[in-house]
Amino acid sequence: MPDEEQSVRAAVESELRLLEPEVRASPALVAELLHPAFVEFGASGQRWDRVSILGAVAPPAGSPMHRIVTSDMQATLLAPGAVHLTYVSDNRGRRARRSSLWRLTAVGWRLYFHQGTLIDDA
pLDDT for position 120: 84
Share of the chain above pLDDT 70, in %: 93
- Per-residue pLDDT at 2 exceeds 80: no
- When the pLDDT of each residue in the chain is averaged and rounded to a whole number, the result is 91
Domains (range + CATH), the chain: 4-118 (3.10.450.50)
pLDDT of residue 61: 67
Per-residue HEC secondary structure of the chain comes to: CCCHHHHHHHHHHHHHHHCCHHHHCCHHHHHCCEEEEEEEECCCCCEEEHHHHHHHHCCCCCCCCCCCEEEEEEEEEEECCEEEEEEEEEECCEEEEEEEEEEEECCEEEEEEEEEEECCCC
Return the higher-pLDDT residue of 62 and 9. Answer: 9
In tens, the pLDDT along 64-113 reads: 778 899 999 999 999 999 999 999 999 888 899 999 999 999 999 999 99
